[in-house]
A and B are shown apart, each in its own frame.
Chain A
């Protein structure tokens, strides 16, 4: 293991506290350093402002859903959380975001380390054009997290974690593109988990999957908390209700409302939220 791991003991402490669970007190609220803490965050491209004035805390070990009509900036916001927008031409950001108490956009924060700590899964499965085994350990190798001799066992462990091991154990050396779409997405999940991230960002991870694969992915995600903090963008409100502890609603260039998922869906405080969750627009 390299120093990349040593730099975030803060998170691990927070996670351990979170894992201690209900017995140790209310695990979800701000008693802990939030995994993410956004203050007055604005994002945009060139002259176009996508979101403004977002104040949001995301507690460690929870699932947070980002919902809102198309084009409201969910993807842009999500990609800001692991600095994936850094190199997008015209991207600008204001306000502060901290990752477990450290300023995410600090000059001394290495974006590569940030991305190891904050993994991401995309809308469409995107395995690399490498063998299945090489796919799983791609991140581990890039960050030199383990010696060569351990790579096989990391592959097995990660594939078991996502329930893909039985299906691919006999063809680790072959192409990932002959797997089904759902299996490819699980493979990408295994790849993201193999580097032991603290947070996983998911951008509509099941929108290209059938209901059975979707359920498999959802079950899996549920089983990953509270060891992991999850932020998921979804258009599927039922999915948000099934998965998320908290839900955030973006609309019209700002964060309209956030709250406990059940609360937000049953008893929305804002007119716009009420209209959206009742399916009247979006």
Chain B
């Protein structure tokens, strides 16, 4: 049985960068409970110890329609401007959600919280573009590798997958700042 010819949408969605990132994701460490384990109840997670001079924030994201799930943990510097010292996550999901988390980690680690929020908004705009992409080239350049998700924005059912990690980042940064 031979693999069949693909339609273009599929190739645009599953770019090599995405498949590669989903197989070897950045920032993924095991710290949340395994929810396929019948002994573990859903939703609990172990909060990790923050780095010194950091406030830690953690956010659990779940997409009930497909079961994609990620717990995102950020350490944000106490010093102003607040800077993302570390982002790690644990979870499972489709290649789109996993690759998006990975590319997001590479993009935001070391940036200030404000810069990360700008990227969050730009990525949101990309995902809402229905395949058209961003009007401003400068904005597109800021997204770096994350621009490959433009192909995903054509598929309404998959936008949530690409946004899962970013929503978790936003929420975990807010939680960290609430402590700082």
Q: Please say whether chains A and B are actual partners in one complex.
A: no
Residues in B lying within 8 Å of A, measured CB to CB: none
Residues in A lying within 8 Å of B, measured CB to CB: none
